[in-house]
Amino acid sequence: MNKFVTLKVWFEHNYLEEYKPQRVRAWVKKGLIYPKPVLHGREYMVCLNASYIHKTPITKSLCTQEIMKQLNNDFANIRKRIN
């Protein structure tokens, strides 16, 4: 069974930097802590073994762009042959 602790205890257990409640609460609201903390009264409780999830925007890789360019060229050539 997982042990639930406050956000401050969780942060101090996982990070060496100074605890800033506004930042950690922003992480909770953005869904960056998994499993998601639960609001108990006025305070969030989180599993001690929870993790911060760094979300990065998904972008097309150069490889994917090259493949798409080649497919578009192939389709254009097929259309020319059909017409």
**Structural domain includes residue 16:** yes
**Structural domain includes residue 81:** no
**Structural domain includes residue 75:** no
- The pLDDT, as a whole number, for residue 52 is 92
13 pLDDT more than 70: yes
In angstroms, the Cα distances linking 60 to 14, 28, 46, 53 are 33, 28, 34, 21
Identify the domain containing residue 39 by its residue range: 4-52
In this prediction the pTM is 0.64
- Report whether 44 contacts 6 (CB < 8 A): yes
Query: What spatial distance separates the first Cα and last Cα of the chain, rounded to whole Å?
Result: 67
**Structural domain includes residue 36:** yes
Q: What is the CATH number of the domain that holds 25?
A: 1.10.1660.20
- The pLDDT, as a whole number, for residue 69 is 79
**Structural domain includes residue 61:** no
CA distance 33 to 20: 15
CA distance 54 to 52: 6
63 pLDDT more than 70: no
Q: Tell me how many domains the chain contains.
A: 1
**Structural domain includes residue 83:** no
